[in-house]
Amino acid sequence: MERRSFLKIGAGTAGAMLVPVFGNAIAAEELLNPMALSFKKALADAALNAATQAGASYCDVRIGRYLNQFITTRDLNVENITNTESTGIGVRVIAGGAYGFAATNSMNPDAVAAAARQAVAIAKANAKLQTEPVQLAPVKGVGEVAWATPIKKDWRAVPVKDKAEMLIAANKAGLEAGASFMTANLFQINQQKYFASTDGSYIDQDIHRLWAPINATAVDKATGKFRSRGGLGAPVSMGYEYFDVRAQDKVKAAGGVTTLYTKSYDVIEDARLAGKQAREKLSAKSVEPGKYDLVLAPEHLFLTIHEAVGHPTELDRVLGFEANYAGTSFATLDKWQSKNFKFGSERVNFIADRTTPGSLGLIGYDDEGVRAKQWDIIRDGVLVNYQATRDQAHIIGEKESHGCSYADSWSNVQFQRMPNVSLAAGKARLTPDDMVKDVKKGIYIVGRGSYSIDQQRYNFQFGGTLFYEIRNGKITNPLEDVAYQSNTQEFWNACSAICDERDWRMGGSFFDGKGQPSQVSAVSHGSSTTRFNGINVINTARKIG
Amino acid sequence: MKQLNQEEAKRICDRVIGFSKADECSVSIDGKREGNVRFARNSISTAGLNEDMQLTVRVAFGKKAGIARLNEFDDKSLEKAVRRAEELARLAPENPEFMPAVGKQEYKATPTFARATADIDPEYRAQVAAYSIEAAKKAGLVAAGFFNDGKRFEAIANSNGVFGFQESTDLAYTCTVRTEDGRGSGWVTRSATDARRFDAREAAGVAIEKALRSVDAKALEPGRYTVILEPAATSEVLGNMFGSFEARDADEGRSFLTKAGGKNRLGDKLFDEQINVWADPWNPDVPVAPWDGQSGLARQRTDIIKNGRIASLDYSRYWAQKKGVAPTAGHGNMIMAGGSKSLEELIASTKKGVVVTRTWYIRMVDPQSLLLTGLTRDGTFYVENGKIKYPIKNFRFNESPVTILNNVEELGKPVVIGGDEVPYQMVLPPMKVRDFNFTSLSDAV
């Protein structure tokens, strides 16, 4: 479930007393200095020892320092620049066969040991109700190791003034191109995560992520109508070099209707196109409902993949651990065991991968100390595997975890989260323009829109950012009020063509929500432009009052 | 972590303000102690305890401001926070929309704290899970759920003499009960400030009954139906609308409250005249802090919709000044008037209709009309001649809350509903609504 949590972050947690700020980030020289490894190791050992002495059969410790900066601009003003810093320690134990967890922001050995003892006490209270003891797949301790997101330019070292100026320039470009209002934001994440466990691992990781969402709104005051066009740049796990625009990272959408971006993002150009296209949407033709062949750009398809493939193949959902919240899954164990459950057509292959460069799910080790890896989820259209953590691996006959454990802060317990799940490129040479030539009655969709799917991931409805009618092999006029509805299995079985690897790129979900208490994680989904035949399209125009 | 009392919080706020050399200084401190237990497959899956405390300092030189936030509270750290904020403020350009810190406010106390909730311990949480699991097992069903409780405090202060201190408690419980074969599912939600108003056995019983009744759902054709919407089925649908009352958006032409020609709809009758909605920080069922943490303004009881008319819009301090009206403090809750009938009585007066327990994954399709999409979940039933006849398959809907509140036929007795994606509690009645638009079927149970 992709959450609107960033709105809450903007309006709640980080929203108190915010004002525009230029200049360097808060005490940049301090933020760039991580905590001493020796200090983290001493704290971790204090927790591990206390937990073991209190009766834990297993303990892991996560020491986190989370630095975020959110910049919000509106038209030509900087509305907010928010720097947040949160440091603390979370201790997870197994005692009596049950989990216990406690977290504290007091970074001293006594407080950390107390948290560890508290976690053991909670585990022992839970053990009374435990039907099966927790069974962890083995992980060999790796000793003291480090891993960092490969970055060329650290966002923490880039002057805030430069970032704000880039966003304001984007807004200015959008306004000049036809928008009545523009917003541009910049979310910057640095997670300094230290993991230690009784298995003998001490893993230090430094993770970076970025996202620059923009939005253009055009208003027709006479009619009271307004329309928006969001940005087409992907969130990434890269350094600030993502905003150093390179010509080779720009591609033309099918029919040349807009510009799309790969390994770097021209936010100013995209904002200019957003302003122009938001204005065009005010007079676009309202769609005729009916069956269409849909040609879906990766900038749109990533969210459909996320909801209709990523989530239903999470093993905790399949087993029922999310039944009370995000739901269960139609992709049940019996379907996987049958070895012939046709999730999609034969050309559909989905790969889970925590190692893809630039992807939001890119890590060295997960939050259980398991090394990042790659594996198949759907092979030639058949469901072949799930996403699993250490305590789930034995259920699907695996000897080791897939490395899918994640917690969004030191204060939350880790649990199963989605890796990057991507649709493999088509094997035959095919460009988006070639794909359109075969379509008699279709719609080309670019960019994310509204999205909703049921709790077992059957029935979904998706909108988009830009819609273009395809008639007899040609992209014709822009459309509006488009949403498509389908059933997940029917949809992927209707997949009739996939462009080749030259067109493959990633979109991403920056705030994907799951779990109770709800946590967010970030994940990318790659694909090439893909076609689905005979999908039901509805018209969403309504009048009120 | 030790939670601060009023004197300790005041001392820290004064100390921070004393360190500041800026034209103005504002401080907020918020601390929490949260416990939870999560269960699934008739067993506890996780449980935890989480403590944290944050200090936020905002200073301004003229129209130039800076903010620092951290979670350390020794004297050296307090001064460090102030110096960091001042360093930022000096680097900042003038903000044309800058508003100085609010002047002294009167924060009339609200009843947000209950000892019974503050005293909840791991044994209590485990017992909540045990009641749910044991009752489900006894009925041959499978329970999954979540219980969490919190004891919190917040303090705000500024160099204009503002000071406020508030302790609060809360709890929330949700439970989904499913049949072992996955053919039936029921759900319940409860939230409260005071644990004495929470009964895990009663709540679990509701989910169990729904699960048993929902087995072997029949398919009904999508279309327009009279629906009886339980409060949990409308909370996020209405929450989406209540979050869209910004005066600035309406005045600027990008809101459902914008009129053709450039005016807003303040005062217009947009809903059935039975509809009355207000915010009230002192409401004993959903009390909230008497201030809005964003602006520092004291909250007031405020009518939002009165007899179907738009009674007020949300004015930020900047937009209020520009328009020459009073600013509004952000609301911390939302209360909707209802009637005296129970859900059962609403069903009894329905000839043909659909009962919806809960809605799920609600997203905006069109902000112009506030068209939302989402699905029913965990108990959808067909009603004929005043009685539930049989369970039906879940539907996807495409509907606007404006249309829903226009098509209200009858309102029932309001209850407290906790927020999920809506970041506050509400008091909402069950509603009987005509012509509700179900657009497709879902096979999900």
> Quick check: A12 pLDDT over 70?
no
Q: Could you please report the per-residue DSSP string of A399-459?
A: SS--S-EE-SSTTS--EE---EEEEPPPSS---HHHHHHT-SEEEEEES---EEE-TTS-E
Q: Are residues B240 and B154 in the same domain?
A: no
Q: Alpha-carbon distance B150 to B114, whole Å? A: 11
Q: Could you please report the per-residue DSSP string of A110-161?
A: HHHHHHHHHHHHHHHHHHTT-SS---PPP----EEEEEE---SS-GGGS-HH
Q: Are residues B112 and B207 in the same domain?
A: yes
- pLDDT (mean) for B389-400: 98
Which among B201, B215, B48 has a CA at the least distance from the CA of B133? B201
Q: Alpha-carbon distance A196 to A61, whole Å? A: 5
Q: Alpha-carbon distance A18 to B88, whole Å? A: 12
Q: Alpha-carbon distance B290 to A58, whole Å? A: 45
Q: Are residues A61 and A167 in the same domain?
A: yes
Using one digit for the tens of pLDDT, what is the confidence trace for A210-233? 999 999 999 998 888 999 999 999
Q: Are residues A176 and A143 in the same domain?
A: yes
From B211, B243, B268, give the residue that closes a domain: B211
In chain A, residues with a C-beta closer than 8 Å to the C-beta of B256 are 544
pLDDT band of B5, cuts 50, 70, 90: very high
Sheet strands (E) in B41-90: 43-61, 64-70
What the block records as the tokens of B30 is 């918020």
Q: Could you please report the per-residue DSSP string of B428-443?
A: E--EEEEEEEEEEEE-
Decide if B139 is inside a domain: yes
Asked if B68 and A222 come within 8 Å (Cβ–Cβ), the reply is no
Contact A536, B439 (CB under 8 A): no
Decide if B1 is inside a domain: no
Check residue A8 and give its pLDDT. 32
Q: Are residues A237 and A299 in the same domain?
A: no
- CB-based contacts of B419, cutoff 8 Å, min separation 6: B235, B239, B425, B426
Q: Are residues B199 and B221 in the same domain?
A: no
Q: Are residues B171 and B261 in the same domain?
A: no
Tell me how close the Cα of A217 comes to any Cα of chain B, in angstroms.
Answer: 8
β-bridge partners, B417: B426
Within B105-199, residue ranges assigned H as helices are 115-118, 122-138
Asked if A542 and B366 come within 8 Å (Cβ–Cβ), the reply is yes
From B211, B246, B281, give the residue that closes a domain: B211
- pLDDT cut 70: percent of chain A above it: 94
Using one digit for the tens of pLDDT, what is the confidence trace for B170-219? 999 999 999 999 999 999 999 999 999 999 999 999 999 999 999 999 99
β-bridge partners, B49: A102, B35
> Quick check: B296 pLDDT over 50?
yes
> Quick check: A25 pLDDT over 70?
no
> Quick check: A91 pLDDT over 70?
yes
Domain that holds residue B98: 6-211
Q: Are residues A297 and A225 in the same domain?
A: no
> Quick check: A177 pLDDT over 90?
yes
**Residue A427 burial (CB count, 10 A):** 11
Torsion of CA A303, B246, B337, B109, to 10 degrees: 110
Check residue A27 and give its pLDDT. 43
Through-space distance between the first and last CA atoms of chain A, rounded to whole angstroms:
32
The chain-wide mean pLDDT, for chain A, equals 92
> Quick check: A21 pLDDT over 60?
no
**Residue B409 burial (CB count, 10 A):** 17
Q: Are residues B227 and B83 in the same domain?
A: no
Looking at the 3D structure of chain A, how many domains does it have? 2
Using one digit for the tens of pLDDT, what is the confidence trace for A444-503? 999 999 999 999 999 999 999 999 999 999 999 999 999 999 999 999 999 999 999 999
Decide if A91 is inside a domain: yes
- pLDDT (mean) for B315-324: 97
Decide if B264 is inside a domain: yes
Using one digit for the tens of pLDDT, what is the confidence trace for B225-259? 999 999 999 999 999 999 999 999 999 999 999 98
> Quick check: A5 pLDDT over 60?
no
Q: Are residues A362 and A252 in the same domain?
A: no
Q: Are residues B141 and B43 in the same domain?
A: yes
Check residue B74 and give its pLDDT. 86
Q: Are residues A356 and A233 in the same domain?
A: no
Decide if B442 is inside a domain: yes
Decide if B22 is inside a domain: yes
- pLDDT (mean) for A371-379: 98
Q: Which of A3, A63, A129, A457 to mutate to test the interface with B (most CBs of B within 10 A)?
A: A129
Q: Are residues A387 and A315 in the same domain?
A: yes
Q: Are residues B197 and B229 in the same domain?
A: no
Using one digit for the tens of pLDDT, what is the confidence trace for B41-68? 999 988 888 888 999 999 999 988 888 8
Buried b or exposed e, range A232-249, using 16+ CB within 10 angstroms: bbbbbbbbbebbeeeeeb
Check residue A19 and give its pLDDT. 25
Asked if B97 and A77 come within 8 Å (Cβ–Cβ), the reply is yes
- Indicate the range of A223-227, A501-505, B138-142, B371-375 predicted with least confidence: A223-227
Decide if A544 is inside a domain: no
In chain B, residues with a C-beta closer than 8 Å to the C-beta of A19 are 58, 60, 65-67, 92, 95, 98
Q: Alpha-carbon distance A227 to A482, whole Å? A: 13
Buried b or exposed e, range B300-330, using 16+ CB within 10 angstroms: eebebbbebbbbbbbbbbebbeeeeeebbbb
What the block records as the tokens of A15 is 């929203």
Q: Are residues B37 and B179 in the same domain?
A: yes
In chain A, residues with a C-beta closer than 8 Å to the C-beta of B394 are 454, 459
Contact B295, B330 (CB under 8 A): yes
Q: Of A23, A79, A101, which is closest to B47 when you measure between CB atoms? A: A101
pLDDT band of A2, cuts 50, 70, 90: low
Tell me how close the Cα of A249 comes to any Cα of chain B, in angstroms.
Answer: 31
Decide if B202 is inside a domain: yes
The chain-wide mean pLDDT, for chain B, equals 94
Check residue A17 and give its pLDDT. 28
Q: Between helices A267-281 and A160-177, what is the axis angle to 10°?
A: 30
Decide if A506 is inside a domain: yes
Asked if B402 and A545 come within 8 Å (Cβ–Cβ), the reply is yes
| Number of helical H runs and strand E runs in chain A | 11, 28
Contact B211, B445 (CB under 8 A): no
Size of interface A-B (CB pairs under 8 A): 297
Q: Of A16, A105, A118, which is closest to B52 when you measure between CB atoms? A: A105
- pLDDT cut 90: percent of chain B above it: 87
Q: Are residues B161 and B291 in the same domain?
A: no
Which among B376, B351, B362 has a CA at the least distance from the CA of B230? B376
- pLDDT (mean) for A81-87: 80
What the block records as the tokens of B401 is 């809350």
Asked if A129 and B39 come within 8 Å (Cβ–Cβ), the reply is yes
Tell me how close the Cα of A165 comes to any Cα of chain B, in angstroms.
Answer: 12
β-bridge partners, A371: A365
Decide if A310 is inside a domain: yes
pLDDT band of A295, cuts 50, 70, 90: very high
User: Which H, E and C letters describe A261-326, residue by residue?
Assistant: ECCCCCHHHHHHHHHHHHHHHCCCEECCCEEEEEEECHHHHHHHHHHHHHCCCEHHHHHCCCCCCC
**Angle CA B363–B365–B370, to nearest 5:** 90
Q: Of A104, A106, A458, which is closest to B443 when you measure between CB atoms? A: A458
Q: Are residues A277 and A298 in the same domain?
A: no
Tell whether B423 is within 8 A of chain A (Cβ).
yes
Q: Are residues A26 and A144 in the same domain?
A: yes
- Indicate the range of A20-29, A405-414, B362-371, B376-385 predicted with least confidence: A20-29
Asked if A17 and B294 come within 8 Å (Cβ–Cβ), the reply is yes
Which among B274, B315, B310, B317 has a CA at the least distance from the CA of B295? B317
From B165, B183, B211, give the residue that closes a domain: B211
Q: Alpha-carbon distance A81 to A394, whole Å? A: 46
Q: Are residues B257 and B344 in the same domain?
A: yes
- CB-based contacts of A490, cutoff 8 Å, min separation 6: none
Tell whether B121 is within 8 A of chain A (Cβ).
no
Asked if A516 and B377 come within 8 Å (Cβ–Cβ), the reply is no
Through-space distance between the first and last CA atoms of chain B, rounded to whole angstroms:
43
β-bridge partners, B436: B225
Q: Are residues A318 and A238 in the same domain?
A: no
Q: Are residues A158 and A275 in the same domain?
A: yes
The listed range with the strongest mean pLDDT (A72-81, A131-140, A365-374) is A365-374
Q: Are residues A50 and A129 in the same domain?
A: yes
> Quick check: B1 pLDDT over 70?
no
Decide if A545 is inside a domain: no
Q: Of A8, A125, A540, which is closest to B398 when you measure between CB atoms? A: A540
**Residue A154 burial (CB count, 10 A):** 18
Asked if B43 and A129 come within 8 Å (Cβ–Cβ), the reply is yes
Q: Are residues B295 and B184 in the same domain?
A: no
Q: Are residues B136 and B205 in the same domain?
A: yes
Decide if B294 is inside a domain: yes
Looking at the 3D structure of chain B, how many domains does it have? 2
Check residue A30 and give its pLDDT. 60
- Residue of chain A nearest B129, judged by CA positions: A129
Q: Alpha-carbon distance A293 to A284, whole Å? A: 20
Check residue A29 and give its pLDDT. 45
From A282, A299, A334, give the residue that closes a domain: A282
Asked if A324 and B371 come within 8 Å (Cβ–Cβ), the reply is no
Tell whether B68 is within 8 A of chain A (Cβ).
yes
Domain that holds residue A421: 290-539
Check residue A14 and give its pLDDT. 27
Contact A372, A534 (CB under 8 A): no
A12: domain CATH number is 3.30.2290.10
From A250, A282, A314, give the residue that closes a domain: A282
pLDDT band of A1, cuts 50, 70, 90: low
Asked if B253 and A226 come within 8 Å (Cβ–Cβ), the reply is yes
B102: domain CATH number is 3.30.2290.10
Decide if A455 is inside a domain: yes
> Quick check: A86 pLDDT over 90?
no
